[in-house]
Amino acid sequence: MKETFKHQTAYILIILSITSLLAACGTNENEETRWEEIQESGVLEVATSGTLYPTSFHSDETDELTGFEVEVTREAANRLDLEAEFTEMGVDGMLTSIQSGQIDLAVNDIDINERREEDFLFTDPYKFSYGAMIVRPDDYSGIHSLEDLDGKRHGGAATTIYMEIAESYGAEGVTYENVTNDTYLRDIENDRLDVVMNDYYLQSLAIEALPEIDVIIHPELFYHPNDQAMIMNENNVELHENLNRVIQEMLDDGTIQQLSEQFFGGQDVSKQPDIDFAS
């Protein structure tokens, strides 16, 4: 009986080892297969909003999708002998679509953070920024410190980092779907919102593009230094490696700096800012 038990135990261990090996091989095969599928199709499926000026928006002249991250992605895809095809959606839909495999990656001024890094892969960053606030000009919407956000109405998409920051200080989150900048700014002007917290560069250009709306960037409160990059499924390891390679090339040869200056009014967002941040 003891000998039979030993043989059965050994048999089970062999089966378990083979199963584990096959599972490991299956994981690698899936990773390689997706990259091979992308290469074979010649298409990189990318999600973006199309409403976030100047990183992802439609040209007034041609109505074609363009913007800083849209063009960075197009150039990166081109260097990989691929064509980037964009699908427009809100941020929530982007992350869900990445996880389901409907898209390969998303670009939409998406912050790198530890929580997201648990579930997704980020490329190396190519944009460095920080948070600002759009408020009413007469009294800064009653906000003179981050603690003054308590009880204020903050507008934004439901799952953004800026909504989380606002709510962590006690602000009431007012969620919007995939709307354009003028909607947010007019709602601040009309007292439907008190503040919109978002990326400094995006907000400064939105205000510059809509001078008829009576709002300003808070001149004293800057916070949340952050990096942005392309985000993708954690299994897309080969895609991740190849994108990092061409992004580094684009940083080294000045392509990303040129695109930054084109879309951000001469400013180079590929360098980290020297700013005193509120704590």
How confident is the model at residue 274, as a pLDDT? 87
Burial of 6 (0-12, 13-18, 19+ CB in 10 A): exposed
**What structural domains and CATH numbers belong to the chain?**
42-126+229-263 (3.40.190.10), 129-225 (3.40.190.10)
How confident is the model at residue 32, as a pLDDT? 54
39 Cβ contact list (under 8 Å, min separation 6): 81, 82
CA dihedral for 226, 269, 166, 52, sign (positive or negative): negative
How many C-beta atoms lie closer than 10 Å to residue 11's C-beta? 10
Give the DSSP letter string of 47-65.
EE-S-BTTTBEE-TTT--E
Q: What is the mean pLDDT of the chain?
A: 89
Tens-digit pLDDT profile for residues 264-277: 999 999 998 888 89
The region that residue 252 occupies, defined by phi over 0 for left and psi between -120 and 50 for alpha, beta otherwise, is alpha
How confident is the model at residue 92, as a pLDDT? 84
pLDDT per residue, tens digit, the chain (279 aa), is 444 444 444 444 444 444 444 444 444 444 458 899 999 999 999 999 999 889 999 999 999 999 999 999 999 999 999 999 999 998 889 999 999 999 999 999 999 989 899 999 999 999 999 999 999 999 999 999 999 999 999 999 887 889 999 999 999 999 998 888 899 999 999 999 999 999 999 899 999 989 999 999 999 999 999 999 999 999 999 999 999 999 999 999 999 999 999 999 999 999 988 888 987
